[in-house]
Each structure stands twice: as structure tokens, then as C-alpha cells.
Chain A
Amino acid sequence: AQRVTQPEKLLSVFKGAPVELKCNYSYSGSPELFWYVQYSRQRLQLLLRHISRESIKGFTADLNKGETSFHLKKPFAQEEDSAMYYCALSKGGATNKLIFGTGTLLAVQP
């Protein structure tokens, strides 16, 4: 079965420290992976997708098919990065049926 696993419910780091939010998936086909973010009192929104290979707000994520991972990384955390982060999997590009992980709450301490 297709599944997205985010092993950490909460990740607490200090400002300026590196951040890595883990995401592992199980899917036998060609996945599309996404990171969505929900800041306090804001809507859930797309942060980045692996296809575009872009860096958004200093975050990057590389799809590692061998390890079936799509970890989100940022070299220097900022307080405004504090939010709930969800990793999501699309089966064959069908984003109307995204499979979400359970989410990781990132808390960046001053």
C-alpha cells in the first residue's frame, strides 16, 4: 500500500541551526513528492515539489529513490520557519488523490 511516513511529530531547533524534516514513502511506481506547509493562522500551502527541483524560502528537498526518501532541509533555520510541515505523495501525477504524512511541527527557538 502507498504510504508516507514522517517519523517526527515535533522538531525543535534553535535559530541558525540546520533543519532536516524526514519523509519516507512506499510506492512501487513513479512517485511525485511534495512538501506542504501550514503557518499559524494561515492556509495549508505548497512549499515545493520534487519535479521542479527548486529552493523555496531556503528549503530544498531531494528525491532519493534508493532510500525512498524526500527529506526537507534548510541550512539555517529562522523563527518564521516555525510551522506544520506535511510530506505528500502523488500516485502517477494524480494530485487530486494526494497521500499525506502525519506532519511534523517545526519549532524554531530564538
Chain B
Amino acid sequence: NAGVTQTPKFQVLKTGQSMTLQCAQDMNHEYMSWYRQDPGMGLRLIHYSVGAGITDQGEVPNGYNVSRSTTEDFPLRLLSAAPSQTSVYFCASIKGGTGELFFGEGSRLTVL
């Protein structure tokens, strides 16, 4: 099993550009989440999903959209990138029962 796969690993954008961070999991987990990691701020929840077709906002959702058309995929879209969105983004899928989070390797995004 690959677990949680995120692409791309690195990306540089200009202010105003849009892009999609891809996240796929092969563990058949219903729950998935997106976090951003910033120095001195830990991980903050952006959006989460409890199943295909169901998403909700986390702590810092502004500027991001998500969708969950399948159990496997949970893409994160930046609509109009801003320098404040420079961060490392982590996708996680959550094992039912134990609630353990399985993280992707992260995507480092720089917005100029």
C-alpha cells in the first residue's frame, strides 16, 4: 500500500495564480483532512471530509476549496494564491475505530 500520496511535493506560484494540491489514499478510509504547517503555529486544520460528497471547514478555510467525489481522492484548491498561503500542506486520512491519522509527505508551497 502506498498510504497517502500527495502531489506535487514542491510548487512555486505567483500571487493570484490558482492551483490544486492532490491527495490520494488507498486505505479505504472515510475521513480525510487537510492541514497547513507554519513555523511557530503547528498544524492548523483547513478542511475535512467525513466521506464522499461531504466536506466541511476547519480552522483556516479562507482561500481554499475542497471536494470529495471519491473515497480515495481529496484535492485542495487554492483559488487565487496569496503570499500568506506560503506553507507546508499535509493531507491525512483517518483510520476508523482508532482515529489514527496517516499523513502524506507534505507539499511545500511558496507564493511570491
Contacts and interface: CB of A to CB of B under 8 A. Distances in A.
B112 to A, nearest CB: 26
A46 interface: yes
Contact of A95 (B100, B103, B105): B100
Given A44-B103, A95-B94, A96-B50, A86 B33 contact: no
A49 B94 CA distance: 14
Contacts of B82: none
A53 interface: no
A95 B106 CA distance: 19
Interface residues of A, number: 22
User: Helix, strand, loop or mixed for chain B's interface?
Assistant: strand
Contacts of A45: 103
Interface in B42-64: 42-45, 48-50, 58
Contacts of B104: 43
Please indicate which of the listed interface residues A9, A44, A49 has the most CB atoms of chain B within 10 Å of its own CB.
Answer: A44
17 contacts: A6-B42, A43-B105, A44-B43, A45-B103, A46-B100, A49-B100, A86-B43, A95-B100, A96-B33, A96-B48, A97-B48, A99-B45, A100-B42, A100-B43, A100-B44, A101-B42, A102-B40
Interface of B: 31-33, 35, 40-45, 48-50, 58, 90, 94, 98-101, 103-106
